[in-house]
């Protein structure tokens, strides 16, 4: 049996902050409707969360969600995802971190995932060779800090902007 994902919203915290508090109840309603139809095992509910929900991402072991969404939104969302056998969908855009830096703290090769000496997380000793992998692990650490150590995360959108702007992701 093939499992499908049904995404509710898209980066709601950023695109529609007025709906932030309605997101988890909406996901729960969709989940209950799927269960009523006997589709809860075949279709999993998730929502693409923008990486901006992660307040601290370096080192990845310090990863944590923003205070305004961690307890009131992320905790009940992660609980719903875990109870239903789903996963967190996280949209990762390493380009935005690279473009926003005020110095050359992030090398171009590290940002692009090209061969590079890597960046060591001083707390875990893990070495990261791409900013994308470091951001993904920071998401896992943020989930761990809320007590969801066995929940999976999936990469949603990734990429760099087209035409040099912040819109039109490739």
Q: What are the E-state strand segments in the chain?
A: 4-7, 43-46, 48-50, 54-56, 64-65, 88-92, 119-120, 127-128, 153-158
Return the structure tokens found at 123: 């707390």
Q: Is 132 helix (H, G, I), strand (E, B) or coil?
A: helix
Of 7, 11, 107, 145, the active-site residue reads 11
From CA 88, how far away is CA 151, in angstroms rounded? 8
Positive/negative CA dihedral, 67, 21, 165, 7: positive
51 Cβ contact list (under 8 Å, min separation 6): 57, 90, 91, 92, 93, 96, 135, 139
28, 79, 144, 157: the catalytic one is 157
Q: Is 119 a catalytic residue?
A: no
Token readout for 140 is 């896992």
Nearest 5°: phi and psi at 112? -85, -10
pLDDT by residue, tens only, the chain of 170 residues:
556 788 998 999 999 999 999 999 999 999 999 999 999 999 999 999 999 999 999 999 999 999 999 999 999 999 999 999 999 999 998 888 888 887 778 898 998 889 999 999 999 999 999 999 999 999 999 999 999 999 999 888 776 655 554 444 43
Structure tokens at 80: 């719903």
Token code pair at residue 158:
């990734």
> C-alpha dihedral over 85, 65, 147, 150, to 10 degrees?
40
pTM score > 0.75 for this model?
Answer: yes
């Amino acid at each position: 049996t093939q499992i499908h994902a049904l995404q509710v919203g898209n980066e709601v915290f950023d695109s529609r902050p007025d709906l932030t508090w309605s997101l988890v109840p909406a996901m729960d309603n969709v989940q209950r409707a799927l269960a009523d139809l006997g589709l809860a095992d075949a279709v999993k509910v998730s929502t693409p969360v923008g990486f901006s929900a992660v307040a601290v991402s370096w080192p990845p072991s310090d990863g944590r969600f923003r205070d305004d969404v961690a307890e009131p939104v992320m905790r009940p969302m992660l609980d719903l995802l875990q109870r239903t056998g789903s996963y967190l969908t996280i949209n990762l855009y390493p380009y935005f971190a690279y473009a926003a830096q005020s110095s050359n703290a992030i090398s171009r090769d590290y940002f692009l995932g090209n061969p590079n000496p890597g960046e060591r997380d001083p707390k875990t000793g893990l070495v990261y060779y791409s900013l994308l992998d470091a951001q993904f692990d920071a998401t896992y650490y943020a989930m761990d800090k809320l007590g969801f150590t066995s929940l999976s995360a999936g990469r949603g959108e990734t990429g760099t902007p087209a035409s040099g702007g912040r819109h039109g992701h490739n």
